[in-house]
Chain A
Amino acid sequence: MQRLGKAALTILGIVTTCIANTASAHHAFAAEFDREKPVSLRGRVTEMRWANPHAWIYIDVENDDGSVTNWALETRAANNLIRLGWRREDLPAGTELVVEAWQARNDTPTASIESVTFSDGRSLFVGSPDQPQP
């Protein structure tokens, strides 16, 4: 699919900034990712790394010029997701995702996930961030 236009980005940026204060903010986040750089992405999962302290979802995103960029998207600790009941088989390669995220300060195709949904609107990885939930 493709990245949304600049206007849409700005609007999403305003909306998501309001949500962000209660979401995945923390010092390492602030050091690594930039609140001035919200991104909206739609693409297909190429890989998920069930890692700690942060799991990573990799998605292929088609750019406006037709080229494809593989984005690395940081999400919550794998152990949090596992305790919420999520398992590796719940997110197979090829799954289409819609992602709101904050891009890394170093401008690589790397971002911290603000929200992620399946293409039918169902939320992935529901629960409060950074709090292991048994």
Chain B
Amino acid sequence: MRLVLSLISLFAAGSVAAQDVPRAASGRPDLQGIWQVVERAGYDLEAHAARHDMKAGLSVVDGGEIPYQPWAAAQKAENFASRATADPLASCYLPGVPRVMALDYPFQIFQTDDQVALTFEWQQVYRLIYVSDEPSPYAGVESWMGHSRGRWDGDVFVVDVTDQNDRTWLDSAGNFHSAAMQVTERFRLEDSDTLAYEATIDDPDVFTRPWTLRLTMKRQSHGDRLLEYQCQAEKEEANGAFERDERTWYPAPVPDDGVAFDADAGIDLPLPAAGEDVRRLADGTPDISGWYMADGGGANYGLEAHPGHELLPPSRGHVVDPADGTLPYRTWARAERIEREMPYRGYDDPTAHCFVAGLPRSHYVPAPFFVVQTPTHVVFLHERMAWRLIRLDGEFLPDTIRLWQGDSIGRWEGDSLVVESRNFNGKAWLNETGDVISHMETLVETYTPVSPTQVHYRATVTDPIPYTRPWTMEMPFNHMDDELLEVACLEDNNDLQHLKDVRDEHRASQNQGD
């Protein structure tokens, strides 16, 4: 009798669990939501007492200890001793997998039948997992985060991670691996608020056998979107390497130059019609998901049409309103824009520091991007390692929360995705040439698919600090069947020191002249 009861209760527990988890239209468990790790494994995967800036925690490794080869155990001890400077995360470098999963920051999962995207608050890192049995077209190309291919094994999402380089650690305690490491991850919803995660590490160059770590992710209910933690930008602002611009950064005021901002100025521009053969979802909504490259036409070197000269490559011009293609600059901002062409200002471009490009620049940096589209979100994953989340419902963040990528809320109007964005921090430039934007930027964008392989993009910028009226730019985005690579910008940035030298030399000469 006892046995029968036990069997019944086991069966009941199993079926309840299976029914309880949220499911996608496909019937697969729906992993979407904002999650954060419970364990203190980001500090040390093994059992550890608290230390300065390190919370105590139990081991998350099966069997308790990581099975190092003797030489590797010695290397780990050396890493531990020098962790304050040797830890790649101390330099804000990409964390690799599985370390990124154990960071003490929230991340959000977006899921379709073809992709699972993980966006992390930390440094706006993301993972794009292709649900595919095919190997990556770029298999063999090493990167910090590797290539991830996912497949469903019943209710478990299994991900193979390959081609990671040997420059990442597994935690802050110096646990490490080689470039031979293969990681197999398993994501399983235990209940609607608990995501069980495990990663099996197979690296015969460092360990005596494959081993497994297990983490618990809890659903986060505080807020409905991720915020930003730009590790490197925060560091450089704190140590003075990246200097505040009082004219554009939040909360700079509108300049008192006697010219009123004409918010009503502007041409009525009709949207192009969607092509008849554009891709559509089952419910008829246009499908704009996939890989894109902007037909940038020199936008990263200026949004106004100009021929090239020694300091500036050409641009075909992208401004459609005002009709003459000229940006409606205030006097100070035009002068600033021209000065930003000078070599000694190259250091001031935030992307030279590998910071996030902001909007609309993220589209034409120039680097490709990948769109993941769900019924509730449209997510842009930019190859220059940054994400942008568009909620299709919700309210804007409080005014005091200022972000590099702003806060975006979108809606489908006919066949166009219309997105409004605000809450920018005013730290970005619109391109390398330095077209000016401030924290008062509000952005209205439309994405209209005009063919199966092209999206028409339009952005209207309203920003009374540098401009006297709103203006509008347009640009086509071309869709192809391709996958993203990884731009680990900060990790190999040899240019910034040169730009700093040029800037410092200029400043020294100015000071001598005083």
Residues in chain A within 8 A of chain B (CB atoms): 21, 25-28, 30-32, 35, 49-54, 56, 72, 74, 77-79, 82-83, 87-88, 104-106, 108, 110, 130-132, 134
Contact = CB atoms under 8 A, between A and B. Distances in A.
A72 B494 CA distance: 9
Interface stretch (B55-63, B215-223, B344-352, B394-402): B344-352
A99 B421 CA distance: 46
Interface stretch (B6-14, B168-176, B250-258, B484-492): B484-492
A31 B489 contact: no
B366 A82 contact: no
A79 B494 contact: no
B152 interface: no
Contacts of A21: 308
A33 B15 CA distance: 66
A131 B489 CA distance: 17
B196 interface: no
Contacts of A104: 498
Contact of B346 (A31, A79, A83, A134): A31
A31 B433 contact: no
Contact of A56 (B384, B489, B494, B499): B494
Contact of B495 (A35, A54, A132): A54
B308 A25 contact: yes
A97 B432 CA distance: 31
A49 to B, nearest CB: 6
A82 B499 CA distance: 27
Contacts of B412: none
A76 B347 CA distance: 19
Contacts of B341: 27, 30
Nearest to B365: A53
A25 B313 CA distance: 6
B293 A132 contact: yes
Contact of A32 (B301, B485, B491, B499): B499
A134 B495 contact: no
Contacts of A54: 494-495
A89 B95 CA distance: 26
A106 B498 contact: yes
A53 B141 contact: no
B502 interface: yes
Contacts of B272: none
A87 to B, nearest CB: 7
Contacts of B156: none
A74 B352 CA distance: 15
A113 to B, nearest CB: 13
Interface of B: 138, 140-142, 291, 293, 300-301, 308, 310-313, 341, 343-347, 349, 352, 366-368, 383-384, 432-434, 480, 482, 485-489, 491-492, 494-495, 498-499, 501-502, 505
Nearest to B491: A51
A32 B433 contact: no
Contacts of A87: 140-141
Given A30-B310, A51-B492, 15 more contacts: A27-B313, A28-B346, A31-B345, A32-B499, A35-B310, A50-B141, A51-B491, A52-B492, A79-B383, A79-B485, A79-B487, A88-B142, A105-B501, A110-B498, A130-B366
20 contacts: A25-B310, A27-B312, A27-B313, A27-B341, A27-B434, A30-B312, A30-B346, A31-B343, A31-B499, A32-B495, A32-B499, A52-B488, A53-B384, A53-B487, A53-B489, A54-B495, A74-B494, A78-B485, A110-B498, A131-B366
A28 B351 CA distance: 10
B502 A31 contact: yes
A131 B364 CA distance: 10
A82 B502 contact: no
Q: In the complex, which of the residues A26, A50, A72, A78 has the most CB atoms of chain B within 10 Å of its own CB atom?
A: A26
B482 A105 contact: no
Contact of B367 (A74, A79, A105): A79
Contacts of A74: 494-495
Contacts of A51: 488, 491-492, 494
Contact of A134 (B482, B491, B499, B505): B482
Q: 8 smallest A-B Cβ distances: which pairs?
A: A31-B346, A51-B492, A27-B432, A52-B487, A31-B343, A106-B501, A79-B485, A30-B311
Contacts of B311: 27, 30
Contacts of B349: 27-28
B499 A28 contact: yes
Interface centre among B141, B291, B495 (most CB of A within 10 A): B495
A42 to B, nearest CB: 22
Contact of B138 (A32, A53, A77, A82): A82
Contacts of B368: 132, 134
B297 to A, nearest CB: 10
A57 B491 CA distance: 16
Given A21-B308, A105-B498, A132-B367, A82 B141 contact: yes
Question: Which residue among A79, A88, A106, A132 has the maximum number of chain B CB atoms within 10 Å of its CB?
Answer: A79
Nearest to B300: A26
User: Which residue of B344, B432, B480, B482 has the most chain A CB atoms within 10 A of its CB atom?
Assistant: B432
